[in-house]
Amino acid sequence: MAEITLRQAAQWCGGRVEEKYADIKFLGANNDSRTIKPGQLFLALRGERDGHDFIPMAMEKGAAAVLCSRSCGDVPAIIVEDTRIALGLIAKHECARIGMKVVGVTGSVGKSTTKEMISCVLEESFRVAKTPANHNNDIGMPMAILSMPEDTQVAVLEMGMNHFREIAYLSDIAKPDVAVIINVGTAHIEYLGSREGILQAKMEILEGLKPGGKAILNGDDDMLWSRRNNAPVKPEYFGCENTGCRIRGEEIVMGGGMLHFRVVTENRNFPVELNVEGRHYVLDALSAVSVGLAFGVAPEQICKRLAGFRNMAGRQEIFEKNGFTIIKDCYNAGPESMAAALEVLGSKTGRRVAVLGDMLELGPRTQAEHYRVGRIAAEKADLVLTYGPNGSRVISGAITGGMPDTKAMAFEDREKLVAALRRMAKPGDVILFKGSRGMRMELILEAFLNKET
């Protein structure tokens, strides 16, 4: 990452800095005084807790300076009206200064996996940097940009949202050369009202697209396909079912923990092999293929890179432990990703157990979507245990779908769920753990596998 002087950063964001501190430099930024590293800029953000209260701790830990919205004593500081907006402006100018190409990725489901696949495809041909973990919001993405090496050639940036204009804001900071939209599902429908609203919010990524930039969209998604003739730029589509897509996935075969398919374009035809399970990953991979081809990566190189792809921790990790096959998919959940995870569970041999946490931020669709997941679970699992206040709707759906009520149980107490799972699980079972991030399903998994608790 590049060193930035307080003088330069203040000019970029319209802030004030005392002359005696103006030439102090910082490397990267952090809004958490507990994890700040020496030399970073501490972001005193206002939220549930006022970041200004933690400035002394940050300085003690070696922060180079502070970005704040009020005087904070005799410390190196850039004083601005709004620290969040100032952070975005600093990141925007730094992104432009580095001059890297930017791939922006958004969608309701699969953003992080797609970001990782795109990075994987590009990183042997270019010096690639990417947003880490869940740094996809108005704080995380700018911080990620400020931590990127000065010689970065391509930045792959995940952009998330749960309200209108949030992606427009992120896109204006990053100014993508390529914008990828994976899908339009029901995640965050509580705040956006409908899939039409979600489509509108996702399409905001095109507002910041550089002149001549490329839009790469999932043509199997009905909402995205509906914009083929009225998008701000003419989209390039990928897909499996829609024959109108320029880049298609065909001859899909799953088995043995692997996924095989063939990429077909106007003038190319080549096989892809992935070390993941689930048909839904084909679309993620096709978006990565589309970006790779747009950047001039040879098909054989794309195939080689995808063959070596490994997903991020917490996203469909499949492993053996204590005589069980565990499918750990605890990072997050919505109706679409829950259905995909249950599809993977249903493909397994042996008794199949679904341990499902609530799906959050579904608003008026909460009850209906949990019931629908229950109907799917009845087809794919032999035993369903739920965690959270909406679990009873999943159980209702499962029983309506034909599952005996002795095989479908709802819990709101984590310890009682773990105890029941221990009683009912048998060696050889395949057990899926999945739920929204706020349900902390990984704690249930850890407690289940830890026989001493």
DSSP string, 56-71: HHHHHTT--EEEESS-
Sheet strands side by side (includes 65-68): 29-30, 41-43, 65-68, 77-79
Q: Residue 289 and residue 268: Cα distance in Å, rounded?
A: 12
- The tokens for 103 are 């791939």
Distant-in-sequence, close-in-space partners of 371: CB < 8 Å, separation ≥ 6:
393, 394, 396, 397, 400
| Look-up of token digits 């839009």 | 215
Q: Residue 170 and residue 189: Cα distance in Å, rounded?
A: 20
Asked if residue 205 and residue 62 are part of one domain, the reply reads: no
Residues 84, 92 contacting (CB under 8 angstroms): no
The neighbouring-strand residues paired with 29 are 41
- The tokens for 12 are 């970029």
Q: Which pLDDT does position 271 carry in this prediction?
A: 96
Asked if residue 109 and residue 226 are part of one domain, the reply reads: yes
- The tokens for 240 are 């499996």
Asked if residue 108 and residue 44 are part of one domain, the reply reads: no
- The tokens for 119 are 């990075």
Asked if residue 329 and residue 377 are part of one domain, the reply reads: yes
Give the chain's length. 453
The C-alpha angle 418, 420, 421, rounded to 5 degrees, equals 65
Strand segments (E) across 101-150: 101-106, 128-130
Q: Left (φ > 0), alpha (ψ -120 to 50) or beta: where does 152 sit? A: beta
Asked if residue 16 and residue 123 are part of one domain, the reply reads: no
Instruction: Single out the residue in 257, 278, 307 at which a domain terminates.
Output: 307
122: nearest Cα among 259, 352, 298: 298
Q: Which pLDDT does position 109 carry in this prediction?
A: 87
Asked if residue 287 and residue 210 are part of one domain, the reply reads: yes
| Look-up of token digits 């914008």 | 179
The identity of residue 250, as a single letter, is: E
Torsion of CA 59, 65, 71, 72, to 10 degrees: 0
The count of structural domains within the chain is 3
- Three-state SS string over 326-363 comes to EEEECCCCCHHHHHHHHHHHHCCCCCEEEEEECCCCCH
Residues 357, 333 contacting (CB under 8 angstroms): yes
Instruction: Single out the residue in 23, 55, 84 at which a domain terminates.
Output: 84
Please report how the helices 335-346 and 366-380 are oriented relative to each other, as an axis angle in degrees rounded to 10. Answer: 10
Asked if residue 358 and residue 300 are part of one domain, the reply reads: no
The identity of residue 318, as a single letter, is: I
Instruction: Single out the residue in 247, 277, 307 at which a domain terminates.
Output: 307
- The tokens for 332 are 């997050």
The range of the structural domain enclosing residue 9 comes to: 4-84
Q: Residue 370 and residue 258: Cα distance in Å, rounded?
A: 29
Residue 260 maps to which CATH number? 3.40.1190.10
Residues 361, 188 contacting (CB under 8 angstroms): yes
The dihedral built from the CA positions of residue 105, 197, 332 and 240, taken in this order, carries a sign that is negative
Residue 161 lies in a domain: yes
Asked if residue 25 and residue 119 are part of one domain, the reply reads: no
Residue 422 lies in a domain: yes
Q: Which pLDDT does position 133 carry in this prediction?
A: 80
Asked if residue 206 and residue 187 are part of one domain, the reply reads: yes
Strand segments (E) across 265-351: 269-274, 317-321, 324-329
Asked if residue 131 and residue 243 are part of one domain, the reply reads: yes
Asked if residue 133 and residue 260 are part of one domain, the reply reads: yes
Q: Residue 363 and residue 224: Cα distance in Å, rounded?
A: 22
Q: Which pLDDT does position 314 carry in this prediction?
A: 67
- The tokens for 15 are 């802030």
φ/ψ of 368, rounded to 5, equals -65, -40
Residues of the chain whose pLDDT is less than 50?
A: 452-453
Residue 94 lies in a domain: no
Asked if residue 193 and residue 303 are part of one domain, the reply reads: yes
Mean of pLDDT over the chain: 95
Q: Which pLDDT does position 1 carry in this prediction?
A: 76
410: nearest Cα among 386, 377, 378, 432: 386
Residue 92 lies in a domain: no
Residue 312 lies in a domain: no
- The tokens for 125 are 């041909």
Q: Residue 394 and residue 410: Cα distance in Å, rounded?
A: 8
Q: Residue 444 and residue 243: Cα distance in Å, rounded?
A: 43
